[in-house]
Amino acid sequence: MHKFLKKITLAFTFVWGLAGAGMAEPLKLTVFGDSLVQGYGLAQGDGLVPQLQRWLAAQDVVVQVVNAGVSGDTSAGGAARIDWALADHPDGVIVLLGGNDLLRGLPPQDTRANLSHIIEAAQGAGAEVMLVGMQAPLNYGAEYKAQFDAIYSDLAQRYGVLLHPLAFAGIMQEVGSDPAQFGAYMQDDNIHPNARGVALNVAAMGPQLLDLLKRMQQAQAQE
């Protein structure tokens, strides 16, 4: 009887171990940014985060996407709250900040320093990072534009993070050589995309997003 119980116990332990090995916790992806992330002006299901969640589900990817967007946030505001956003230990972080720095004409070197801090904090917390770029208009001059536009590619290379070069890439690809059509995918303020514009931008983000998830999965497997 004692030997029989021992065999049962060993068998149960083996099966439980196999089940535990195959039951990794779902990946957690935090999208960190400003109103473009928060979903300003859109119905609850039409913002960037819910559309990202649906896009990932369509790819049969199991991941929890967390909305860490704050309307009006600058890169400085993001740098001040990044530790709070990392408190729930995400496996990955998408950083989409800089638009409000542009609207206020803030110094590019400040934006660069703030984004550097955010990336370093995320990597220090063990999260994989994808940086989403912004491009400056010519309103502030060619020198300002050159300095600002270089921030994202420079930081991606410096820290070895993934880069999606432009937050509005999907809309830009759709309108092509007819920029007059850009407004069809924007809200009335001509700053924030509408639901159709968000869908295009999410689809354009797809290749880098899948690369990010691959990195997240690899990191999880090594834990």
End-to-end CA, the chain: 40
Residue 128: closest CA among 169, 97, 87, 86: 86
For residue 40, what are the CA distances in angstroms to 73, 114, 152, 198? 12, 23, 24, 11
CA distance 121 to 127: 9
Distance CA 49, CA 41 (A): 14
Catalytic center residues: 35, 189, 192
Distance from C-alpha of 126 to C-alpha of 31, rounded to nearest angstrom? 15
C-beta neighbour count of 153 within 10 angstroms:
13
Quote the CA–CA distance of 160 and 188 in Å, as a whole number. Answer: 37
